[in-house]
Structure 1
Amino acid sequence: MDPERFPATAQEPAESFLAVAEELLAVPSTADRPGDLHRALDLVLHFVGPGFTVERFESNGKPSALVYPGTARQRFRVILNAHLDVVPAPPHQFRPRCEGTRLYARGAQDMKVSALVEALVFRELAAGLPYPVALQLVTDEEVGGRDGTRHQLEQGVTGDFVIIGEGSGLRIVTDSKGMVAANLTAAGRNAHGAYPWLGDNALLKLHRSLDNLLTRYPVATEEIWRTTVNVARIETPDAVRNQVPAFAEAWLDIRFPPEDADLNGRSVQEITAYLETFCEPGVTPVVDHVDVPHHADRNRPEVRMLQQAARNQGHRADLLRKHGAADGRFYYQRGIDAVVFGAGGDGQHGPEEYADTTTITPYYRALEEFLQNFPPS
């Protein structure tokens, strides 16, 4: 490890690394800005530098890349996975600022800083490792991951163990919830608002259906490992107050653990039929997509090795379950263990998102130790 980048006696990364991190954080790489998705990807590839094979992919306008030593792709013993896209934010959040040990910006915790550390450790170690390793860079995780990680897997990319650099504070996430994206649509009959008995209020039918669903899955008021339902939007095209609405729609974001037998392992058709049991007459569920939960074997030697590497940096390296979805689910579907392991921070997707700069060097060193001790076969 270059002592100019990470001083051997300090927990703070060198200014040179932070300068590149701030340059990357200043790129508004959101799904609606394809030019900036390419810019973020090219910036990290330039940071990795020459001497590696770079395979570029693109699906539905979302670019991604796979970087590895040598000239031929093979089954990789380890894949370091990172996403470079972020959710939208006001312009000021793309002007990074450091306050003490906090680096504030959109994407600082989720997950550009960790991505850059993965790129650095890959650059420093990959060519000298006695086994094949790859750096996987994608730009669509925040909008589902289907055109990045999943697309690459569909093109034949594969491996034995995957580290996804989502911010985790050097803890290891072995389980993530599955997700159902669904809408409830309600059909009724228009009438004058003064004569409601002449109409059929679609909005009220929709509300009753939502009440039925939320009775089964109450809104969580504290962290809990069970199925949750977020009602993200309720709308009707009616533009006047004195009309009974004939149509209404609700957006649902459902997250479920593997233990929920009503949802886990079910097809779109089966989940649609299940949601129908909560619906009033005239209300129809429409399931857009279903993503399975993610699970990695906690007793797998690689997980224990990664845990020990983090502990050697003074971190507890707890094993966690994550309520959000991540690209690890695409590996899990193919029988490949993937874990989330990244630097620290807080406030992801919020107005005060930040990376904890005191965790950057320990994160690098934990990855370095893990890769250097990883068995060749």
Structure 2
Amino acid sequence: MDLMARAADLIAVPSTADRPEELRRALELVLGVVGPGFTVERFSARGKPSALVHLPGPRPAFRVLLNAHLDVVPADSYAARRDGDRLYGRGAQDMKIAALVLADVFRSLAPELPYQLGLQLVTDEEVGGHDGTAHQIAAGVTAGFVVIGEQSGLRVVTDSKGILQVRLHTTGTAAHAAYPWLGDNALLRLTGAVDAVLRRYPVPPAEQWRTTVNVARIESTNRAVNQVPAAATAWLDIRFPSEDTDFAGRTAEQVAAFLAGVSGAEVLVDNLGPPHHADPESPEVALLQAAARKAGYSGDLLRKHGAADGRFYSARGIDAVIFGPGGDGQHGPDEYADLTTVLPYREALVSFLTGLSALP
């Protein structure tokens, strides 16, 4: 595979959530790497296309499933640029390079392995994953072990945080700004509610494996400076580990009631996804770590603060790990893939998949 040419073409596709045609174009480019001779099952949910690729015949229960997402967050430019051992561009690290490698490895190994290997390509991970990976799982797709090619520098991610996105809403009484005692300022009520949440979950001074809260936006219905606001809303993004029983294992209704008690505000839950966990002592994880070490990397276990599609498999009792090449700057203007890690990444995947034959 001419990786650089393929990567430049794929990165140039502005495959953002609001461009369904570009999502389909990115999907077709990666399916082109796989080539003919395989069954391609196509799925679509709410305008988000995805595909499942396997050997000809009925869909099996896969021994291993390789998972990649092809959507990206918006950028000012979608051109790829190489500088030495770095390939810059939106999606270079997250995770179009890895998707190409996974497709190439699948094409090479799937016909030869003594077990069923599948390739899952989705286009909605950046906006929640419900119309790609989760949609396919609901349609009956299953596996014994899942490798997600998100960036990890050839370390093995067995844990990632859950995601909770909520709105805090407060109401008050409008009045003339010159006579604030005649009104009840909803915005002041809201900032007090936000402060109460942040007191319970303060922003850590450095990386820590605990619940974090990001205040993404605060808004009032007010459009006049000389008026006391009668309503206000704050949008919060909360990431939580499985150890935090305030959120882990709770329903949306229970979470809303809990945060209402903390903040005193009305709470609306927009998104709730559980933490992801895979057994770090499993033979598959040990074999993948050994494959990374054989390729010259540590293969250390890693925990990720961001949510990923592995949570949908974890919720079904299926071990899923993140294992990808290196790079930095995801979602930023200087996002890049570390090209020195790409060949070792492919070698580690091949070593893992071929070595898996010896496991029960």
- Sort the TM-score into its range (normalised by shorter chain): over 0.9
User: Residue 323 in 1 paired to residue 305 in 2?
Assistant: yes
**Residue number in structure 2 paired with 1:158:** 142
**Residue number in structure 1 paired with 2:71:** 85
User: Residue 288 in 1 paired to residue 270 in 2?
Assistant: yes
SS at match of 1:285: strand
How much has 1:279 moved relative to structure 2? 2.3
Residues in 2 aligned to 1:334 and 1:122: alpha-carbon distance in whole angstroms: 24
Residues in 1 aligned to 2:192 and 2:37: alpha-carbon distance in whole angstroms: 61
**Residue number in structure 1 paired with 2:200:** 216
Alignment of 1:4-43 (within 5 A): 5=1, 16-43=2-29
Alignment of 1:47-62 (within 5 A): 47-62=33-48
**Residue number in structure 1 paired with 2:190:** 206
SS at match of 1:252: strand
Deviates more, 1:235-244 or 1:20-29: 235-244
1:127-163 CA-partner distances (Å, limit 9, x unpaired): 1111001000000000000000000000000000000
1:312-342 CA-partner distances (Å, limit 9, x unpaired): 0110111011100000000001110000000
User: Residue 46 in 1 paired to residue 28 in 2?
Assistant: no
Q: Which amino acid aligns with 2:242?
A: P
**Residue number in structure 2 paired with 1:358:** 340
**Residue number in structure 2 paired with 1:108:** 92
How much has 1:269 moved relative to structure 2? 1.1
Which one of the candidate residues 61, 70, 73 is aligned to 1:75? Answer: 61
Q: Which amino acid aligns with 2:215?
A: V
How much has 1:75 moved relative to structure 2? 0.5
Residues in 1 aligned to 2:268 and 2:94: alpha-carbon distance in whole angstroms: 30
How much has 1:44 moved relative to structure 2? 0.5
Q: TM-score, normalised by structure 2?
A: 0.98
**Residue number in structure 1 paired with 2:351:** 369
Deviates more, 1:22-31 or 1:263-272: 263-272
Q: Which amino acid aligns with 2:333?
A: P
User: Residue 225 in 1 paired to residue 209 in 2?
Assistant: yes
1:184-213 CA-partner distances (Å, limit 9, x unpaired): 011111111111001110000000011111
1:286-335 CA-partner distances (Å, limit 9, x unpaired): 11231111000001000000000010011011101110000000000111
Residues in 2 aligned to 1:359 and 1:316: alpha-carbon distance in whole angstroms: 12
Counting aligned pairs with the same residue, the percent is: 62
**Residue number in structure 1 paired with 2:81:** 97
Q: Which amino acid aligns with 1:339?
A: V
Taking only aligned residues, the RMSD between alpha carbons, in angstroms, comes to 0.9
Gaps of 5+ in 2: none
SS at match of 1:277: helix
Residues in 2 aligned to 1:289 and 1:112: alpha-carbon distance in whole angstroms: 26
Q: Which amino acid aligns with 1:61?
A: G
User: Residue 190 in 1 paired to residue 174 in 2?
Assistant: yes
1:169-193 CA-partner distances (Å, limit 9, x unpaired): 1011000111111100111111111
Alignment of 1:220-369 (within 5 A): 220-280=204-264, 283-369=265-351
How much has 1:240 moved relative to structure 2? 1.8
Residues in 2 aligned to 1:172 and 1:351: alpha-carbon distance in whole angstroms: 26
How much has 1:30 moved relative to structure 2? 0.3
Residues in 2 aligned to 1:189 and 1:117: alpha-carbon distance in whole angstroms: 58
Residues in 1 aligned to 2:336 and 2:283: alpha-carbon distance in whole angstroms: 32
How much has 1:88 moved relative to structure 2? 0.7
How much has 1:220 moved relative to structure 2? 2.0
Gaps of 5+ in 1: 6-15
Residues in 1 aligned to 2:310 and 2:106: alpha-carbon distance in whole angstroms: 19
How much has 1:256 moved relative to structure 2? 0.5
Residues in 2 aligned to 1:19 and 1:167: alpha-carbon distance in whole angstroms: 20
Residues in 1 aligned to 2:296 and 2:170: alpha-carbon distance in whole angstroms: 55
Residues in 2 aligned to 1:33 and 1:70: alpha-carbon distance in whole angstroms: 31
How much has 1:47 moved relative to structure 2? 1.3
**Residue number in structure 1 paired with 2:126:** 142
How much has 1:72 moved relative to structure 2? 1.3
**Residue number in structure 2 paired with 1:11:** none
Residues in 1 aligned to 2:222 and 2:83: alpha-carbon distance in whole angstroms: 48
1:252-310 CA-partner distances (Å, limit 9, x unpaired): 11111111111111111111111011223xx2111123111100000100000000001
Superposition misfits of 4+ residues, deviation over 6 angstroms: none
**Residue number in structure 1 paired with 2:109:** 125
How much has 1:221 moved relative to structure 2? 2.3
